[in-house]
Structure 1
Amino acid sequence: MKKKLSIIMTAYNVADYISSAIDSVIAQTNQDFDLIIVDDCSTDSTQEIIRSYERNYDWIDVVCHTENFGVSTARNTGLAKADGELVTFIDGDDWVEPNYVEHFLSIFEQENVQMVTCGFFNENENGKVKNKFTKHKTSIVGRDEVVKQIIKMTGTVMGYTWNKAYVRSIIEENHLIFQTDLDLMEDQVFNVEYATLAKNFYLDNQPLYHYISRKDSITNRFAMENVRDIGVARLKVHRTLKESSRNEKDKI
Structure 2
Amino acid sequence: MSNEESGVMKLSIIITAYNEEKYIGRCLRALSEQQTRFKYEVIVVNDGSTDNTQRVLTQYVKKFRDIFKPYCKENSGQGLSRNFGIKQSIGEYIGFVDADDWVNQNFVELMCESAQKHNSDIVVCDVHKIYVARMLEEDVTSLEGKKEVVDIANYIRNGQSNSYSCNKIYRRDIWQRYNFKKNGV
TM-score normalised to structure 1 length: 0.64
Q: Which has the higher helix share?
A: 1
Separation in 1, partners of 2:108, 2:136: 24
Separation in 2, partners of 1:112, 1:130: 30
Which residue number corresponds to residue 144 of structure 1? 153
Q: Does 1:106 align with 2:113?
A: yes
Which residue number corresponds to residue 88 of structure 1? 95
* Aligned residue identity for 1:137: K
Unaligned 5+ segments in structure 2 are 1-6
Quick check: 2:118–2:149 contact (8 Å CA) kept in 1?
Answer: no
Q: Does 1:63 align with 2:71?
A: yes
SS in 2 for 1:98: coil
CA RMSD of aligned residues (A): 2.1
Separation in 2, partners of 1:171, 1:148: 21
Which residue number corresponds to residue 46 of structure 2? 39
Runs of 4+ in 1 over 3 A off after TM superposition: 130-133
Quick check: 2:27–2:102 contact (8 Å CA) kept in 1?
Answer: yes
Which residue number corresponds to residue 181 of structure 2? 179
CA shift at 1:148, angstroms? 2.1
SS in 1 for 2:136: coil
SS in 1 for 2:129: strand
Unaligned 5+ segments in structure 1 are 188-252
SS in 1 for 2:80: helix
Alignment size in residue pairs: 175
Q: Does 1:124 align with 2:122?
A: no
> Which string of whole-angstrom CA distances, capped at 9 and with x for unpartnered residues, describes residues 3-39 of structure 1?
2111111111110111100001111111521111001
Which residue number corresponds to residue 13 of structure 2? 7
- Bigger Rg, structure 1 or 2: 1
Q: Does 1:18 align with 2:20?
A: no
* Aligned residue identity for 1:177: N
Quick check: 2:14–2:94 contact (8 Å CA) kept in 1?
Answer: yes
Pick 1 or 2: higher relative contact order, CA cutoff 8 A, min separation 6: 2
Name the stretch that deviates more: 2-11 or 13-22: 2-11
> Which string of whole-angstrom CA distances, capped at 9 and with x for unpartnered residues, describes residues 158-204 of structure 1?
133321101112322x2x11011xx3xx33xxxxxxxxxxxxxxxxx
Separation in 1, partners of 2:64, 2:129: 30
